[in-house]
């Protein structure tokens, strides 16, 4: 009997987050013991395999901040795997936990939960309407959260609502529940969700179009941004719907088409892409942020994202460096067109892991040391509109 270890490990992670590490251990052990098919005899010219059967349930755990490793990940024993899983994403809301309280909003602003349905599916979403836009919005930002997050968490951590209030933007935060993905991830790696005419890409584009109509947001002022799996889906939306999204912000994400299933997704996250990056058929202005100590999504994906925009083939490149007030070093590579307008930006952040730069500690996956990704994204979006 063939065992789906991706599903097994997902179930074990859920049990750990619920506070039952013993159950997680038993889940993995049961999956391993259920292997009814005996191992084939090794060829005569090959030594027999040795070691415990857990080697076939290899798990890559988060590592301490530092330069991304170049070599292959080490295999771990079952007890070490369970212990490592228990340490993953310590700030993540636990199943059954009370909802995160929403921060106060300015007088006259609105923060409400809405629902959207189309032939491509349905999702709830959190909507922020700034008090600064009584006669209409200056633009719309579609914000896509990362795995295990929800709209309230992402809004609090990214502080995008504060930027929206400052610039008169409406912000929509679609909710990807565990009903649609075991870890609440946008399914950026599934071919059916990477299409213009179907799946999650089509659903999210239709959601953005409806919100834009509701608030009179005109063409050229609809933007998309996301973190991790949300960042990968933002890149997909830029590729599948370039006529809708005027610009995209990708934080700790991956390029469109980098994977076609779970296995290739993990390979792409490790920086092991089997296919070459293809430039977009209709380039969308893109700003990219990535921590150079990210051990969840390899920083090489940021380079692939920049290449996929096609900007480097037609624009002039400029490099600059800086340091945030908190002491975090960064570099920014800007690609500009003949008219001097920025076509793409890539921010490389020294010592930063898998977290939203400049975010608020009240949300998960945030790094308050900066630079301020939300402010820079909004600045980039509006420069081209």
358's tokens: 């400049």
pTM score, whole prediction:
0.76
The pLDDT score that the predictor gives to residue 154 is: 97
Q: Which domains does the chain have, with CATH numbers?
A: 5-87 (no CATH), 110-383 (3.40.50.1820)
264, 323 Cβ separation under 8 angstroms: no
Q: Which of 33-37, 161-165, 205-209, 355-359 has the lowest mean pLDDT?
A: 33-37
Closest CA to 314 of 276, 275, 279: 279
DSSP, collapsed to helix, strand or coil, labels residue 377 as helix
The pLDDT score that the predictor gives to residue 144 is: 98
**Which 8-state DSSP code applies to residue 75?**
P
How far apart (Å, rounded) are the C-alpha atoms in residues 53 and 50? 9
Q: Which residues have CB under 8 Å from 353's CB, separation 6+?
A: 65, 291, 293, 294, 295, 296, 367
Question: Is the model's pLDDT at 70 over the cut of 50?
Answer: no
Q: Which residues pair with 171 in a beta bridge?
A: 128, 141
How far apart (Å, rounded) are the C-alpha atoms in residues 108 and 209? 24
Output the CA torsion sign for 13, 19, 20, 22: positive
269 φ, ψ to 5°? Answer: -65, -30
DSSP, collapsed to helix, strand or coil, labels residue 4 as coil
Per-residue pLDDT band for 24 (boundaries 50, 70, 90) equals low
Question: Is the model's pLDDT at 339 over the cut of 70?
Answer: yes
Average pLDDT of the chain is 81
Question: Is the model's pLDDT at 4 over the cut of 80?
Answer: no
Q: Which of 93-97, 274-278, 312-316, 375-379 has the lowest mean pLDDT?
A: 93-97
Q: What angle do CA 191, 238, 6 make, to 5 degrees?
A: 35
* Mean pLDDT computed over 338-346: 92
Gyration radius of the chain over CA positions: 21
The pLDDT score that the predictor gives to residue 62 is: 32
DSSP, collapsed to helix, strand or coil, labels residue 223 as strand
* Mean pLDDT computed over 152-157: 97
The pLDDT score that the predictor gives to residue 13 is: 61
How far apart (Å, rounded) are the C-alpha atoms in residues 109 and 134? 9
The pLDDT score that the predictor gives to residue 147 is: 97
Question: Is the model's pLDDT at 11 over the cut of 80?
Answer: no
Give residue-wise pLDDT tens across range 301-311. Answer: 999 999 999 88
How far apart (Å, rounded) are the C-alpha atoms in residues 194 and 188? 7
How far apart (Å, rounded) are the C-alpha atoms in residues 21 and 169? 44
Give residue-wise pLDDT tens across range 229-250. Answer: 999 999 999 999 999 999 999 9
Give residue-wise pLDDT tens across range 245-274. Answer: 999 999 999 999 999 999 999 999 999 965
Burial of 32 (0-12, 13-18, 19+ CB in 10 A): middle
145, 151 Cβ separation under 8 angstroms: yes
Per-residue pLDDT band for 283 (boundaries 50, 70, 90) equals confident
Q: Which of 73-87, 169-183, 263-277 has the lowest mean pLDDT?
A: 73-87
The pLDDT score that the predictor gives to residue 23 is: 61
The residue length of the chain stands at 385
Question: Is the model's pLDDT at 89 over the cut of 70?
Answer: no
Query: At CB < 8 A and 24+ separation, what contacts does 47-56 make?
Result: 52/77, 52/78, 54/28, 54/78, 54/81, 56/5, 56/32
């Amino acid at each position: 009997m063939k065992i789906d270890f991706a599903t097994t490990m997902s179930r074990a992670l859920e049990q750990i987050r619920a506070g039952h590490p013993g159950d997680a251990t038993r889940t993995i052990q049961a999956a391993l013991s259920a292997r009814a098919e005996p191992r084939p005899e090794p060829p005569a010219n090959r030594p027999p395999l040795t070691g415990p059967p857990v080697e076939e349930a290899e798990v890559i755990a988060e590592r301490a901040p530092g330069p991304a490793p170049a070599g292959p990940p080490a295999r771990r024993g079952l007890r070490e795997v369970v212990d490592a899983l228990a340490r993953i994403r310590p700030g993540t809301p636990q199943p059954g936990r009370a909802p995160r309280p929403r921060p106060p909003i300015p007088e006259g602003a609105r923060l409400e939960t809405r629902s959207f349905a189309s032939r491509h599916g349905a999702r709830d979403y959190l909507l922020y309407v700034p008090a600064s836009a009584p006669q209409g919005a200056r633009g719309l930002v579609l914000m896509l959260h990362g795995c295990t997050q929800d709209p309230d968490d992402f809004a609090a951590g990214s502080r995008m609502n504060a930027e929206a209030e400052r610039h008169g933007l409406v912000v929509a935060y679609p909710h990807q529940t565990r009903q649609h993905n075991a870890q609440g991830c946008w399914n950026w790696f599934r071919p059916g969700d990477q299409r213009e005419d179907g799946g999650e890409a089509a659903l999210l584009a239709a959601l953005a179009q409806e919100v834009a109509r509701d608030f009179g947001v005109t063409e050229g002022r609809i933007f998309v941004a996301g973190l991790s799996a949300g960042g990968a889906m933002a890149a997909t939306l830029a590729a599948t719907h370039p006529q809708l999204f005027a610009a995209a912000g990708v934080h700790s994400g991956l390029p469109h088409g980098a994977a076609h299933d779970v296995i290739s997704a993990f390979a792409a996250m490790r920086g092991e892409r089997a296919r070459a990056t293809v430039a977009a058929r209709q380039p969308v202005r893109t700003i990219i942020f990535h921590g150079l100590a990210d051990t969840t999504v390899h920083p090489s994906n940021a380079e692939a994202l920049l290449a996929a925009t096609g900007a480097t083939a037609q624009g002039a490149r400029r490099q600059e460096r800086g340091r945030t007030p908190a002491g975090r070093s960064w570099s920014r590579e800007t690609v500009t067109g003949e008219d001097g307008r920025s076509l793409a930006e890539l921010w490389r952040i020294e010592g930063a892991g898998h977290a939203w730069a400049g975010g608020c500690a009240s949300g998960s996956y945030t790094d308050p040391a900066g630079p301020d990704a939300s402010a820079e994204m909004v600045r980039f979006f509006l420069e081209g509109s």
